[in-house]
Structure 1
Amino acid sequence: MAASIIDVARRAEVSTATVSRALRGLPNVSEATRERVLRAAEELSYAVSPHASSLASGRTGTVGVILPFVNRWFYSQVVAGIDSVLRANDLDILLYNLGDERVHERFFARMPPRRRVDALIVLNLPLSATESESLVSLEVPIAVLGTRIPGCWHVSIDNAEGTSTAVRHLINLGHRRIGMISGALGDPRGFTTPIVRQHAYRTVLAQAGIPYDPDLEAPGNLTIDEGASAMAQLLSLPDPPTAVFAESDQMAFGALRTMGRMGLRAPDDVSVIGFDNHETAELLDLTTIAQPVAYQGELLAQQILDALSGSSEEPAQVVVPTRLVVRGTTGAARVARPRHPSSPRPGPEPDQHSRTTAR
């Protein structure tokens, strides 16, 4: 596979925008940096895409980005990654936010990208077969994040493996009562990521011989507030979990907020693990499954550049690895000490502010 501008940027330890400026001889690049970029490009046998400098007649110089939520952290990070690569190649972005069901339907009825964009990038958007065919009929290169469209470029992570790693981490710490705060399982549009992660959670429990308890699943809808509500639901159970896997870091933030308000701490009372490695995760010392969110956007943009320049004959399918980042919110499960027959009966339940060893 030919080297990309992203590969050169990583080798030279600069941004893709700096690589583009350095290779085109533009100002605001130091000589030392320019030499490092040129050396990296030479070592990788990188050839500058002709697209940015020789748009064919009729090209718009614009790439359409179709996404379900324009205001959520994950999508803003992916768009930032896309923009960094496209902007470095003198291309603009045109956003299509299909968060509302009526807007979604109107989009596919009118197909506004027609003749307005040179390519499309689709971000985690559930599509019917008819809708996928409508996009393909535009006859422009299409790169897709997460969901797949036959014959199109594709970038994803292995959601099942990431979830399995998270749940196994909790099991290896001795936890057997493991809850899950899930994403948008009930969304009528049919987002697949929460379903895949839910299935992986249940599969790993079964593999470990842990009986599945539906009461240990609570909906968090990928937001902090609903993650907080989900954690309150789990902690109100007669036999609450000793550990919780949240399908996103933002839901995990909400879970930690609820614990704090109840006088509980992670991991002393309940271990918590998230998913994403949001920039706030390190601040809150949250254990998480890290995925390179902005980098996935960079890869999508590079696939589009390769497609437009003709350097990529077959649509590439890229699976980006995830990794476990262990911080302070997960720890070993507490083992209840057996009571001596002559031990006194337990006293009254401690109040919320003194319940630091109750679980």
Structure 2
Amino acid sequence: MAASIIDVARAVGVSPSTVSRALRGRDGVSDELRVRIIAVAADLGYTASRNASSLASGRTCSIGVLAPYVGRWFFGTVVDAAERVFSAAGYDLLLYNLGSVDSRKRFFAELPVRKRVDAILSLLIPTGDEAERLRSLGIPLAITVGGPRPGFTTVGIDDRAGAELATRHLVNLGHRRIGRIGTRPSAPLYWTTPDLRRRGYLDVLVDAGIPHDPDLEADGEYTVEGGERAMTRLLTAVRPPTAVFAESDEMAMGALRALRAHRLRVPEDIAIVGFDDHELADVVGLTTVAQPVAEHGTQAASLLLRLLRDDTDVPDHVELPTHLIVRNSTAPHRGSLHGDIE
């Protein structure tokens, strides 16, 4: 049986009218209480009446979500978390999958969201022209990846600092030949994360006095399969790495699969560090830089709801924390694959 507004009110300890005001963005409810009510409503699966909200406010009660890869874990987790918050507040989601160059060009040329949504949540970083097109809609806009951007409310992490955490961990374990599995700086589709994480990796190498070796970098395409291919390529280097920083856990898992296929031990032969703290990272014992992925969606959705009720105190940027989780895939350096101590 679906939860009712009375169930939400009882769980929070407030009146049903307070729940209604909170979920519809009305005044008279503190921000702290509003966030609590939204969270409880999402947990109970309560959804406000969309028809009533639309008639009362003159809005569409829909949120447009732009995603580059809806089938990938990170983006799927962010969208799911955001949907819970929006649904509890009585909003539907219109999801636009812009994973190809053609679909992206067509979307920004036609802007099919015009007059169909009250706000936009973007999981991709728009180019200058694309950003202008979105701003021309005159509705609240939020981005859940990257740093601050004029005209948008953004939620993200410090990707460069996170990569520094991962690489410095390997340096502190005594590794000197540290590989990187990432992707091209401009891919995919203007995504800045790969470039920022590569900069963090290079910064630590410089600080540690370790010469950069281009042969120790490989494109893993931010997929498990790509990570496996990239790790296999790194193993063909004249002097393979003793440790590898993979810019995502999915690529790290692919690297682990490649090492297993080559009968190499982790971390004895090669240490691996990932990024994200994927839901399976603990299962495979992967050391990783953790970020609160679902919180990207929860925070961005909550900020958009505040903008929709004309809250003037919404921050332009919210930076979420990262931290290193050490598991079984890293250990002190014991020598390269050829047995020499560096």
For the criterion TM > 0.5, the same-fold answer is yes
| C-alpha distance in structure 1 between counterparts of 2:82 and 2:212, whole Å | 40
Alignment of 1:163-312 (within 5 A): 163-185=163-185, 187=187, 189-312=189-312
Quick one: which amino acid aligns to residue 128 of structure 1? T
| C-alpha distance in structure 1 between counterparts of 2:213 and 2:323, whole Å | 27
SS at match of 2:253: helix
Offset at residue 278 of structure 1 (A): 0.5
Alignment of 1:32-181 (within 5 A): 33-35=11-13, 46-47=33-34, 54-55=53-54, 56-125=56-125, 127-147=126-146, 148-181=148-181
Distance 1:113 1:210, change over 3 A: same
SS at match of 2:6: coil
SS at match of 2:201: helix
Offset at residue 289 of structure 1 (A): 0.5
Quick one: which amino acid aligns to residue 95 of structure 2? L
Offset at residue 44 of structure 1 (A): 7.9
Report the counterpart of residue 3 of structure 1 in structure 2: none
Report the counterpart of residue 26 of structure 1 in structure 2: 7
Distance 1:324 1:51, change over 3 A: farther
| C-alpha distance in structure 1 between counterparts of 2:53 and 2:263, whole Å | 62
Tell me which structure has the larger Cα radius of gyration.
1
> 1:175-221: per-residue Cα shift (whole Å, max 9, x none)?
11100001343537332110111111111100011111111101000
Quick one: which amino acid aligns to residue 136 of structure 1? R
Offset at residue 128 of structure 1 (A): 2.2
SS at match of 1:140: coil
Distance 1:70 1:62, change over 3 A: same
SS at match of 1:96: strand
Distance 1:112 1:45, change over 3 A: closer
> Do the aligned residues in 2 keep the contact of 1:68 with 1:98 (CA within 8 Å)?
yes
Which stretch shows the higher mean deviation, 308-317 or 156-165? 308-317
SS at match of 2:282: helix
- Tell me the number of residue pairs that the alignment of Structure 1 and Structure 2 aligns: 315
> Do the aligned residues in 2 keep the contact of 1:269 with 1:356 (CA within 8 Å)?
no
> Do the aligned residues in 2 keep the contact of 1:268 with 1:356 (CA within 8 Å)?
no
Distance 1:311 1:70, change over 3 A: same
Quick one: which amino acid aligns to residue 144 of structure 1? I
Q: How many percent of aligned residue pairs carry the same amino acid? A: 43
- TM-score of the superposed pair, with normalisation by structure 1: 0.80
| C-alpha distance in structure 2 between counterparts of 1:102 and 1:44, whole Å | 41
Offset at residue 112 of structure 1 (A): 0.3
Report the counterpart of residue 327 of structure 1 in structure 2: 327
> Do the aligned residues in 1 keep the contact of 2:186 with 2:192 (CA within 8 Å)?
no
Offset at residue 311 of structure 1 (A): 2.4
| C-alpha distance in structure 1 between counterparts of 2:224 and 2:14, whole Å | 43
| C-alpha distance in structure 2 between counterparts of 1:57 and 1:357, whole Å | 71
Structure 1 gap segments, 5+ residues each = 1-17, 337-354
> Do the aligned residues in 2 keep the contact of 1:158 with 1:319 (CA within 8 Å)?
yes
Distance 1:305 1:331, change over 3 A: same
| C-alpha distance in structure 1 between counterparts of 2:214 and 2:185, whole Å | 14
Structure 2 gap segments, 5+ residues each = 17-21, 23-28, 39-47
Quick one: which amino acid aligns to residue 98 of structure 1? L
Offset at residue 358 of structure 1 (A): 9.1
Distance 1:309 1:268, change over 3 A: same
| C-alpha distance in structure 1 between counterparts of 2:182 and 2:188, whole Å | 15
> Do the aligned residues in 1 keep the contact of 2:289 with 2:322 (CA within 8 Å)?
yes
Which stretch shows the higher mean deviation, 141-150 or 237-246? 141-150
Distance 1:67 1:258, change over 3 A: same
Quick one: which amino acid aligns to residue 134 of structure 2? L
Offset at residue 109 of structure 1 (A): 1.0
RMSD: 2.9
Offset at residue 51 of structure 1 (A): 11
> 1:88-143: per-residue Cα shift (whole Å, max 9, x none)?
11111100111111111111111100000000011133x22121111011011011
Distance 1:100 1:37, change over 3 A: farther
| C-alpha distance in structure 1 between counterparts of 2:92 and 2:260, whole Å | 44
- TM-score of the superposed pair, with normalisation by structure 2: 0.84
Report the counterpart of residue 346 of structure 1 in structure 2: none
> Do the aligned residues in 2 keep the contact of 1:184 with 1:220 (CA within 8 Å)?
no
Distance 1:230 1:97, change over 3 A: same
| C-alpha distance in structure 2 between counterparts of 1:61 and 1:269, whole Å | 55
Distance 1:44 1:129, change over 3 A: closer
